[in-house]
Chains A and B, each alone.
Chain A
Amino acid sequence: MTHLLPDSAAPAAAPTVPRAAAATATASSASAATSAPSASAGAVSAGAASAARRRGRRLGPGKRLPAARLIGPLLVLAVWAIASAAGQLDPGAIPAPWTVLHTGARLWTDGTLPSDMLTSLRRAGIGFTIGLTGGVLLALASGLSRTGEALIDGTVQLNRAIPTLGLIPLLILWLGIGETFKIAIIAIVVYIPVYLNLHSALSGIDSRFVELAEVIGLRRWEFVRQVVIPGALPGFFVGLRLAVTSSWLSLVVLEQINATSGLGYMMFQAQNYGQSDVIIVGLIVYGVFGLISDTLVRLIERRVLSWRRTLGH
């Protein structure tokens, strides 16, 4: 026992020596071996310092630039403006930024743009609300009860396998070419990602928490309310964001095929008259809609899932 002590003490002590000190020691002992003590004094400290820095080299991408996300789009805009001003772009194909801006202002003041926007927003809004409600209700029914799962899950998975836009002809036959069928398509497009993600989050609840709830003796409803649903919210938000994206996508398609009003119709008409500036205005409005709705969902998600910020960071 006693003769073991020094041996075991030495390796135990070694790792506790601070790294920088170890580096310095190595550097100075190396310089002691060379035979120019005074001249190499500066070199020693420089060597030690660089050794210390080398160990701490940063491999991550570093600090984020201010307003980093805006730099790329602004660059594209600048190139577009310069090329237009220099006459390098065919104004019939790609009009100058100021032309687009001017057209946008004109469409806004003469009332076409606001009314088309409102029509589009209404379609998207109603379809989205119905799809979201349906998706959530179905996912709850199927995620919380085995009977519900047996009835619902297979059906939805089947529905998911059919591309929803492929249903357009059938739905037109059933519902006519008016607003109802457009809203129905958007609702279907929305409910599927909401259902899939919420259902898998509900049924994938961590079994450790199920155990905990059993030990504590939580009632079924308390378990669902305190454990299952909050635990499924991250999955729900994944589905929600997918749903927002796909609702805009289907809106664009619907309005450009079969519509007599709305943003897509405005753009379709512009195509017939060769008004590329109007088309670009429509695209920008779609983009703004998409950006705003995605930001909104993100903000809600940040609020609701505020506990998550403490985990990763």
Chain B
Amino acid sequence: MITIKAPKDFCAGLSFILISGVFLYVAQDYPRGSALQMGPAYFPTTLAGLLFLIGCVVLLRSLVIAGERVGALAKREMVLILGALVVFGALINTAGLIVSCAALLVIGSLASGEFRWREVAVFIVALTTAAILIFYYALGLPFKLGPWS
């Protein structure tokens, strides 16, 4: 029976193998070339290969040498904060800065676990105004402000 003795290392090793796997998989279509004429795949494949090896060692080590536990993941915070970013990204080019700021702040504030409507409303007004003044007017960045513009 195999037991995981070092959960942190186990997860780390697994992630290394996963990431190296993605790079190796995508790079297999690229020409490798030779040392004299390094092709597009030469350097990345070498790096990913090395990463794969390290991943395996770290993974195997976690089965032998005891180590720390991973600890509770902040699932709620993770989903809400990353979700807020994705929503902001999806809205910024269509609905514009004002709408996406409001959406980001509402979803993001939920993550703190102490959601207060009045506070969030103040935030939306204050921060959106600040963002428009700084980025749109002062720095002249080409933002779409609202769905109308």
A joins B in a complex: no
Residues of chain A having any CB pair with chain B under 8 Å: none
